[in-house]
A and B are shown apart, each in its own frame.
Chain A
Amino acid sequence: MLRYTVLRVLGAIPTLLLVIVLAFLMVHAAPGGPFDDERVLPPEIEANIAKKYHLDEPLHRQFLRYLGGVVQGDLGPSYSYRDHTVSELIGGALPLSLHLGALAMLLSLIVGVTAGTAAALRKNTVLDRTVMALAMTGISIPVFVVAPVLVLVLAVYLQWLPAGWSGNAGGARYLLPVVSLALPQIAYIARLTRASMIDVLASDFIRTARAQGLGTIAIVRYHALKPAMLPVLSYMGPAVAAILTGSVVVEEIFGIPGLGQLFVRGALNRDYTLVLGIVIFYATLIILLNLLVDILYAVIDPRVRQR
Chain B
Amino acid sequence: MMSLGSTWQRLRQNRTVMICGGLLFGVVVVACIGPLVSPNDYLQTDFDNLLSPPTVTDMQVFGTDDLGRDLFVRSMLGVRVTIVIAVVASAVSLVIGVIYGAVAGFVGGRVDAVMMRFVDTLYALPFIFFVILLMVAFERNFLLIFVAIGAINWLDMARIVRGQTLSLREREFVAAARVTGVSAPRIIFRHIAPNLMGVVIVYVTLTIPQAILVESFLSFLGLGIQEPQTSLGALVNAGVNQMEGAPWMLLIPAALLASILFCCNFLGDAMRDVFDARHTA
Chain A residues at the B interface, C-beta cutoff of 8 Å:
14-15, 18-19, 22-23, 26-27, 29-31, 136-137, 139-142, 144-145, 148-149, 151-152, 156, 237, 241, 244-245, 248-249, 252-253, 263-264, 266-268, 270, 272, 275-276, 278-279, 282-283, 286-287, 290
A/B interface sample: 13 pairs, CB < 8 A: A22-B125, A23-B130, A27-B133, A137-B262, A148-B239, A148-B240, A148-B250, A151-B243, A244-B126, A245-B129, A268-B222, A275-B132, A279-B133
**Residues A267 and B124 in contact, CB atoms below 8 Å apart:** no
Main secondary structure of the interface of A (DSSP, over half): helix
- Whole-angstrom CA separation of A267 from B250 in the bound complex: 24
Whether A26 touches B132, Cβ cut-off 8 Å, given contacts A142-B261, A267-B221, is no
Which A residues touch B213, using CB under 8 A? 142
**Residues B261 and A275 in contact, CB atoms below 8 Å apart:** no
Q: Which of B188-224 contact A (CB under 8 A)?
A: 209, 213, 216-217, 220-223
Report B14 CB to chain A, min CB distance, Å: 15
**Using a Cβ cutoff of 8 Å, how many contacts connect chains A and B?**
120
Main secondary structure of the interface of B (DSSP, over half): helix
Report B80 CB to chain A, min CB distance, Å: 19
Report A142 CB to chain B, min CB distance, Å: 6
Interface size on B (CB < 8 Å)?
41
Q: Among B124, B137, B254, point to the contact of A145 (Cβ < 8 A).
A: B254
- Whole-angstrom CA separation of A156 from B243 in the bound complex: 9
B95 at the interface (CB under 8 A from A): no
0/1 interface trace, chain B 222-237, chain A, CB 8 Å (1 if under): 1100000000010011
Which A residues touch B223, using CB under 8 A? 264, 267-268
**Residues B130 and A279 in contact, CB atoms below 8 Å apart:** yes
B47 at the interface (CB under 8 A from A): no
- Whole-angstrom CA separation of A237 from B126 in the bound complex: 10
**Residues A139 and B243 in contact, CB atoms below 8 Å apart:** no
Whether A30 touches B220, Cβ cut-off 8 Å, given contacts A15-B125, A275-B132, A279-B130, is no
